[in-house]
Amino acid sequence: MKKYYLAVTYDVCEHNDLFEDMNEYHLISLDNLDNYVKYLAKKDIAPVIKVYVSDTSDFKELRLYKEFKFTEYECGCVD
């Protein structure tokens, strides 16, 4: 059965209780996933990216495949 993958970038600020999705990217394959996710994090300045998997192309039932964290893009605000 074919699997469908979706990467979602998130903006996060723990000081302001913010965890907001920014952009979604449909993935054609998981080849070079780590490099592609790094590219997306830099592009969106996203400290968190979650990759979801679905059995259907409409992504109605998503399951978390893998989560990536990028400390270099975490917010720098202080209380």
Run of H or E including 56: none
Q: How sure is the predictor about 41, in pLDDT bands with cuts at 50, 70 and 90?
A: very high
- Does some domain include residue 10? yes
With respect to residue 12, please indicate whether it lies within any of the assigned structural domains: yes
Residue-range definition of the domain harbouring residue 28: 4-73
Q: Specify burial of residue 17 (Cβ count, 10 A radius: 0-12, 13-18, 19+).
A: exposed
Give CA angle at 57 (53, 62), nearest 5°: 30
Total number of domains in the chain: 1
State pLDDT tens for residues 50-72: 999 999 888 889 999 999 999 99
Prediction pTM value: 0.89
